[in-house]
Structure 1
Amino acid sequence: MTHWQSTLLSSSAPIAEAIRIIDESSKQICLVVDDQGRLQGTVTDGDIRRAILRSHPLDLPVERIMNRTPITARPDEDRAALLARMKARRVHQLPIVAADGRVVGLAVVDEMMQVDQRGLDNWVVLMAGGLGMRLRPLTEDTPKPLLKVGNRPLLEIALEELVRQGFRRFYVSVNYLGEKIKEALGDGARWDADIRYLDETKRMGTAGALSLIPEPPEAPVMVMNADLLTKLNLKSLLDYHHDHRAAATIAVRDYEFQVPYGVVRVDNQRIVGIDEKPRQHFFVNAGIYVLNPEVIARIPRDSFVDMPDVFDGLIRDGLPTAAFPLREYWLDIGRMNDFDQANRDVELEFPDR
């Protein structure tokens, strides 16, 4: 419960300030207080992402998105009581509030259980079986995940970032030039990680390789395309997935483009309006997912399956799904200009440690 004071902010502070505090702190929460330090509400990483989904501007005061009735604890509650309450209420943080309403501490479940030191139990699947056709000729002899960004292979940068976050168990799906990927990564010992491989012997789509996982997972599985660079902490995604009690969660990215023409709206032959070069706004698939074990079990064995097919089936069957909006650095390296951009970004975003 140390350094909790850095999470405090006023109700008039903008959402952007809450993002800064959350990004600079390991506690993933802001405590909104008045001038006397009395708790007014809380803002979590999940609250901010839900605000992004609702297209709220980042200069909006945090009082517009804060939880005004957060679960709290008393100063006299011991560690066991705090952990039991957090588990029962499915929360990751508990503000410690005195009788007069002042905040006097903050309990964070990861700190109390020292999760980062023991490593997370979740498997991460890195999908590295693609042909990389749009990056030819660079990928004629080198699989795309092993192309060097700066002075390191793309897949190695992603793997090191995930290990730094506490993940230690990995499957890597391989197909095109898969032996080169196995030779480059080995069994993961040099990262103190366990790396295993899913061998695709044919094209299996963006989800089919998950059917090759040899043993049914016991916890949600993180899935990520191996041609991505991102600063997203997958633990935040996993927490969001649990908080929304989803069977499957997909990370989405805000995408906007401007139509270069005037758009004419018609009703049969009547013109009802003209919009001059309108901007279109979408959330697009960012290639990062969380899937519960029962979702992995639904994927047909050794078949061609794309991830949209998986989500379409869940939606059709009424199973809960969630969208997690990314606000961190993210780059899909699909084309040559993306590869060039990655080489410009890598030293700033992913310095070689």
Structure 2
Amino acid sequence: MIDRQVLVIGPDTSIRTALMQLDRGGLQVVFVEDAAGRLVGAVSDGDIRRGLLSGSALEDSVGGIMNREPATVSLTASQEHVDALKSRRGIRVVAVVDGEGRMIDVVGEQGRIATPLETPVVLMAGGRGQRLYPITKDIPKPLVPLGDVPMIDIILGRLHDQGFRRVHVSVNHLGHLIEEHLGEGTALDLEITYLHEPAPLGTAGALAQLRDAIEVPFVVMNSDLLTQVDLRRMLTFHEGTGAAATIGAREYGFEIPFGVIRREGDDVIALAEKPYHSELVSAGIYVLEPVALETLAADEYCDMPTLLGRLMDDGRRVGAFEIHEEWIDVGRPEDLERARQAWERRRR
């Protein structure tokens, strides 16, 4: 997080002091905030050189030489957006600001945006994992290891890397083992709480417990997904659509292993040898507005398609965000093996 004593100055600060701050900060830029704490400018060594060449003195204030349009991104900006902004502006450092223009963090030359977000994440971990039986007879699927690391630890680690800190975990089948393993999340630098399902409530039913606890958009994802998706980018996309919900969608394709016949009546009008067919399918990752929780009743069984259908029936918009990054749904033994191989490749 930002060290304000080093990286932040006021508009009345002298150019001489700004030079000293530049040297101390090591980012080749300092940021200028007004009395209300809003970001109003940035000063680089280039700005100072140009100011001195134009006649400014070292004791003059930086207000006269600062860049009044510093490069900024929102709290939910994706790494892709940060990299594109750096490239477009030819800069090394970007400021992260909140909705009121106050600087929360900076992303340096080699840094990746991971500013802690207030956005909650709900991990659905209450399923029985029946397709992985007998592996899941005595261990809940989220604790099945990839190599020597439980799957849920990998998922939570990636959430932390992207700046998420507040996580709710829904539990039912062998849930006490998940709670014993994760605790309150202290070891992972997370705040973890639990949604206890008295009986299996489907892929959305446990969310009813959050009805009075969440007032901002939140992420819901299955706890058996190994994916590199940039959830910050998905959040930014969602915020720009005005939708009540956004579904993470992924292309699923398959080849029909036979020649397909197209006909009109008894006449064949076309033949296709082993055609390839594709559809967009739900990737088990969603961004929901709090209003979605109003459609749920306590302890009601509800799958996510039902919840989303209710929103659409109410005239609310549901969007789709295409996921192109690595994505493995660990549902079957062959998927588990593929996930283990992918995890091992990334660790090398």
TM over 0.5: yes
1:180 — aligned with what?
177
2:68 — aligned with what?
77
Among 193, 198, 212, the residue aligned to 1:196? 193
Among 262, 269, 273, the residue aligned to 2:270? 273
Q: Quick check: 2:211–2:293 contact (8 Å CA) kept in 1?
A: no
Q: What is the deviation of 1:117?
A: 6.4
Q: What is the deviation of 1:270?
A: 3.4
Unpaired runs of 5+ residues, structure 2, are 1-65, 76-80, 98-102, 107-112
Q: Residues 214 and 342 from structure 1, CA distance in 2 versus in 1: closer, same or farther, beyond 3 angstroms?
A: same
Give 1:166's aligned amino acid: G
Q: CA RMSD in A?
A: 2.7
1:198-219 residue CA offsets vs partner (Å, 9 max, x unmatched): 0001121111011122633121
Paired residues in the alignment total 266
Among 314, 318, 323, the residue aligned to 1:321? 318
Matches within 5 A, 1:96-175: 110=96, 112-114=103-105, 119-175=116-172
Structure with bigger gyration radius: 2
Q: What is the alpha-carbon distance in structure 2 between the residues aligned to residue 179 and residue 106 of structure 1?
A: 46
Q: What is the alpha-carbon distance in structure 2 between the residues aligned to residue 149 and residue 103 of structure 1?
A: 41
Q: Quick check: 1:122–1:167 contact (8 Å CA) kept in 2?
A: yes
Q: Residues 266 and 314 from structure 1, CA distance in 2 versus in 1: closer, same or farther, beyond 3 angstroms?
A: farther
Q: What is the alpha-carbon distance in structure 2 between the residues aligned to residue 265 and residue 220 of structure 1?
A: 46
Corresponding position: 1:229 with 2:226: yes
Q: What is the alpha-carbon distance in structure 2 between the residues aligned to residue 153 and residue 283 of structure 1?
A: 29
1:138-183 residue CA offsets vs partner (Å, 9 max, x unmatched): 1110001001111010001101110111100000000000000000
1:66 — aligned with what?
none
Q: What is the alpha-carbon distance in structure 2 between the residues aligned to residue 78 and residue 336 of structure 1?
A: 53
Q: Residues 214 and 292 from structure 1, CA distance in 2 versus in 1: closer, same or farther, beyond 3 angstroms?
A: closer
Q: What is the deviation of 1:348?
A: 2.3
- TM-score (normalizing by structure 2): 0.70
Q: What is the deviation of 1:317?
A: 2.6
Q: Residues 317 and 159 from structure 1, CA distance in 2 versus in 1: closer, same or farther, beyond 3 angstroms?
A: same
Q: Which 4+ runs in 1 deviate beyond 4 A?
A: 92-96, 102-109, 115-118
Give 2:227's aligned amino acid: T
1:239 — aligned with what?
236
Among 237, 246, 250, the residue aligned to 2:247? 250
2:212 — aligned with what?
215
Q: What is the alpha-carbon distance in structure 2 between the residues aligned to residue 315 and residue 155 of structure 1?
A: 32
Q: Quick check: 2:115–2:162 contact (8 Å CA) kept in 1?
A: no
What's the secondary structure of 1:308's corresponding residue?
helix
Q: Quick check: 2:167–2:192 contact (8 Å CA) kept in 1?
A: yes
Q: What is the deviation of 1:103?
A: 5.2
Q: Quick check: 2:252–2:278 contact (8 Å CA) kept in 1?
A: yes
Q: What is the deviation of 1:266?
A: 2.5
Unpaired runs of 5+ residues, structure 1, are 1-74, 97-101
Q: Quick check: 2:211–2:290 contact (8 Å CA) kept in 1?
A: no
Give 1:177's aligned amino acid: L
What's the secondary structure of 1:288's corresponding residue?
strand
2:286 — aligned with what?
289
Q: What is the deviation of 1:233?
A: 2.0
> What is the identity percentage for the equivalent residue pairs of Structure 1 and Structure 2?
40
Give 2:255's aligned amino acid: Q
Q: What is the alpha-carbon distance in structure 2 between the residues aligned to residue 220 and residue 282 of structure 1?
A: 27
